[in-house]
Structure formats: structure tokens, C-alpha cells
Amino acid sequence: MSKSYKIIVVESSPLLVAGLKHMLSGHLSYDVVAVLESTEKLHDKLISLKPDIIIINPLLIDYAKRFMLKSMLLKTPPVVCIALVSAYVEPVVLKQYHGVIGLEDGKQKIETKLREALQNDRPNEQKDNYELSDRERDVLIAVAKGKMNKEIADQLHISIHTVISHRKNISRKTGIKSVSGLTVYALLNNMIDEREVK
């Protein structure tokens, strides 16, 4: 690799940051250009520094936004996201990342994971078909409003089987399985108003 890849690290533990920087030091391909203790200034840094990679602890992202990594990065330059996992993180959250670095990973393994993530440039979850269809949005809004499958089927003039199929697609695309999680997703994406939630 002749190109030098710019990295932003988002981690609140100085010990983890120091360890990670030590692992990457001396490797000409990787240059840590910024270290942030929270996601507060991440958007601005992504715009100004245009990094190739973000290594971020998913636990530093607000719980509701943790399931929506893609929408958080919509208005920023394309970037490879690596999860730095120091405690349990839900598998559906990790599926959104291009790679995962664990505390047990050594220097060689970290470099391999970074290289693979850069080459693939795709999250573990399929990038395509992430957008919800109009019908899926209708179903999601109804679910968020507390409606049951039968009520949704009657309201949208479709079968219960079709409602269940749409709900599976919604969970696959958003990475969210719980009704409360989908409600938060709908609220954050301005699909519904707080007053509409039962």
C-alpha cells in the first residue's frame, strides 16, 4: 500500500487510544489525524479532515442512533467505519460496520482487518436495498403508532402475510427488531410525531 490512509479514532479511554496508536505507529499506510473522546465534533471533523477510516467505539453513540450509522454519515464524505469493541455490543449494531476490532486483536490482525475493510468498502450488511420502500414506510409508521399486524393489514388493504413480510424487510434494512426501537427510528427520521405514539 503506497497510499497513506487518514484515520479518526473516537474512543474515550486514553489507554485504548494509546494502545491503538502504538499498534499503528511505524506503519506508513495509516496516519491517525484526530482522536475524539465523543461523537460531538465527529461530523465537523469528517468534513474538514476527510478521513478514509473512522475507528469508533459504538457505545459512544447515543443508543437510538447506534442502529442508524448510515443515516448519521449521510451528509459526510464516504468513509470506512470500524467498530472498536471494548464491551458487549448488539450484533445488529456491528453489522453496519465495515469491520470490528476487539481488545484481543494484535497488531497484525488489526492491520489485516483495516486492509480488508478498505478493499471491500462495504459494511457486513448489504449496502444495496437499504432504503425503505413506500409500503415499508407505511408499515413502519403503523407499527410505531402501536398498531397490530391485523390492524395494519386492514388499514393498508393487504394480507397479514404481506405485513409480516414487510416487517421482516424493515428489520433487515434498519437492523432493528424491537417495536420500541422501530418507534425511535420513526421519530428520529420524522416519519411520525411524538403525539402519535401510543
**CATH code 3.40.50.10470 for 134-196:** no
Average pLDDT of the segment spanning 124-139? 71
* Residue 121 confidence class, pLDDT cut points 50, 70, 90: low
Q: What is the pLDDT of residues 20-51, one digit of tens each?
A: 998 888 777 889 999 999 999 998 999 999 99
**Contact criterion met (CB below 8 Å) for 191 and 137:** yes
pTM of structure: 0.62
Residue type, 7: I
Distance of CA 69 to the CA centre of its chain: 3
Give the architecture-level CATH label for domain 5-120: 3-Layer(aba) Sandwich (3.40)
Q: What is the pLDDT of residue 77?
A: 82
Q: Write phi, then psi, for 179 (nearest 5 degrees).
A: -65, -40
Domain residue spans of the chain: 5-120, 134-196
Residue type, 32: V
For the chain, report the end-to-end CA distance as a whole number of angstroms. Answer: 54
C-alpha span between 11 and 17 (Å, rounded): 7
- Dihedral sign, Cα of residue 86, residue 18, residue 27, residue 106: negative
Name the grid cell of 81: 467505519
Question: Strand 5-10 to strand 80-85: parallel, antiparallel, or no bridges (unpaired)?
Answer: unpaired
**Contact criterion met (CB below 8 Å) for 39 and 10:** yes
Q: What does the buried/exposed string (b/e) look like for 158-179 if buried means 16 or more CB atoms within 10 Å of the residue's CB? A: beeebbeebbebbbbbbbbeee
Residue of higher predicted confidence among 144 and 66: 144
